[in-house]
Amino acid sequence: MKCQYSCQTGEHVLARRDFLGMLTGGFVVGGLGALATPAVSAVLQKEQKRVLVVYMAGGLSQLESWDPKPKTDTGGPFRAIQTATPGTHICELLPKTALHMDKLALVRSIDTKNGDHGKGSYQMTYGRNQMPGVEYPHIGAVSAKALERSDNPLPGHIRIPGGSRGSDAAYLGPKYASIGMNGKPPANSARAANLTEQNDALRNQFRQKVNDRFSLKRRTAETDVYTQSYEQAKQLMEKRDVFDVEKEPAAEHEKYGKHDFGKHCLMARRLLENGIPFVQISHSNYDTHNENFNFHLEQLGEFDQSFATLIGDLHERGLLKSTLVVVMSEFGRTPRINARFGRDHWGTAWSVCLGGAKIQPGAVIGKTNENGTKVIDREVDHGDLFHTYLSALDLDSRGSFDIGGRAQPMADPAAGPIDELIV
């Protein structure tokens, strides 16, 4: 659904990637590679940690989702309903998700002190405040680096939808930058129809000889990236069908919903099943300055079906215990309802939903006051959440990456994880 009444900021109005070759450095999960038996490989695949972020672009209303306040001056027209976790209620617009809340958790006490789309998005996905002249890696780049496996040629940081390569890996390097996908195999990933397999092999042999000769005198880090990207592109061609959501049976499409978000959730499941460490899917546009209630009624109906189906599938397939799931926005919406029946930007007291991996199922962290205007218990911010995500993946969030002999903290040293949320 296209929102026609957002604030109209710039944030709201596949080229071929430099795929890198064999993964080196950083944290490695698995490591048996080709030596592993099929049975062991299957176990490693299920136990490998991975991340799914569902980004509710524009600013999902916490009052119409995770922290309803019915029968108050800010509550709006919707009821709160019981969930699979006794005593925990969410908005009635999420009835299917409510059935899975025993697998999920809520943080209801976020205060990022920010109401700007760009800055809020940066806070929530980079775990820091945006500062001129300073670049940090996106949570997807951090995950791709920390959770990579040397036996998986697939890229580690995927965002859906999208059609280009991001520049969001900072000092971790382009190897961990995001790639946009739209439910189809990457462009130019199939061998040309007029090129036989034998001729393709000869062409690659010649390319390798030329590269080897060139590297004897003029090898640089940049030329290594080109070489590595070509090698991984070759490996990717063999697994291009992983990205083709049309390979799924019609019944799966029906179950997830025959709309873009349903297709994207189904594709996310395929990617996670194939060991990709980080997948982000987006649902938009929640910037509801006008007609907030009508929009959430329609848009969350679409979200609820697909998201609940995805959580159910991950659980039934044994992947949820190794997959961190986070539903986030750049901020929430104002408790005050404006004259256009909308809610405006609000970073003072809002919520996220998360689960899987080492997140305590059914937990509810923090609390807002009766009408949701301020946090009254266990205030946290984006830095704390970023630490929590890493801790839920069994990573040391206070650890560092070694980048050219220099330690780069994985998360903001001034923040820390929400320890009571981690099992």
How far is the CA of 242 from the CAs of 16, 33, 50, 138, 237, in angstroms?
Answer: 17, 19, 16, 24, 10
Q: Phi and psi (nearest 5°) for 339?
A: -70, -15
- Residue 31: per-residue pLDDT: 31
On whether residue 412 sits in a domain, the answer given is yes
Helix (H, G, I), strand (E, B) or coil at 33: helix
Q: How confident is the model at residue 42 (pLDDT cuts 50, 70, 90)?
A: low
Q: Which helix (H) or strand (E) holds 11?
A: none
Q: Which domain holds residue 365?
A: 33-421
- Residue 36: per-residue pLDDT: 36
On whether residue 5 sits in a domain, the answer given is no
Of 66, 316, 4, 36, give the one whose Cα is nearest residue 151: 36
Share of the chain above pLDDT 90, in %: 70
Question: Is 68 or 47 the better-scoring residue by pLDDT?
Answer: 68
Q: How far apart are the first and last CA of the chain?
A: 38
Confirm if 279 and 53 have CB atoms less than 8 A apart. yes
Given a cut of 70, is residue 7 above it in pLDDT? no
On whether residue 48 sits in a domain, the answer given is yes
On whether residue 21 sits in a domain, the answer given is no
Q: Phi and psi (nearest 5°) for 180?
A: -85, 135
On whether residue 253 sits in a domain, the answer given is yes
On whether residue 293 sits in a domain, the answer given is yes
For the chain, the domain total comes to: 1
Convert the pLDDT of each residue in 356-373 to its tens digit. 999 999 999 999 999 999
Given a cut of 50, is residue 412 above it in pLDDT? yes
| pTM, to two decimals | 0.86
Task: Tell me which of 141-155, 230-244, 246-260 is least confident.
Answer: 230-244
On whether residue 19 sits in a domain, the answer given is no
Convert the pLDDT of each residue in 166-193 to its tens digit. 999 999 998 899 999 987 777 767 777 7
Helix (H, G, I), strand (E, B) or coil at 263: helix
Average pLDDT over residues 305-331: 98
Q: How confident is the model at residue 6 (pLDDT cuts 50, 70, 90)?
A: low
Of 54, 90, 61, give the one whose Cα is nearest residue 345: 61
Share of the chain above pLDDT 70, in %: 86
Q: How far apart are CA 406 and CA 164, in angstroms?
A: 30
- Residue 211: per-residue pLDDT: 82
Of 140, 145, 161, give the one whose Cα is nearest residue 23: 145
On whether residue 216 sits in a domain, the answer given is yes
Q: How far apart are CA 1 and CA 260, in angstroms?
A: 9
Given a cut of 80, is residue 34 above it in pLDDT? no
DSSP string computed for 176-218: GS-EE--SSPPTT-S--TTS-HHHHHHHHHHHHHHHHHHHHHH
CATH number of the CATH domain containing 153: 3.40.720
Q: How confident is the model at residue 8 (pLDDT cuts 50, 70, 90)?
A: low
Q: Which amino acid is at 47?
A: E
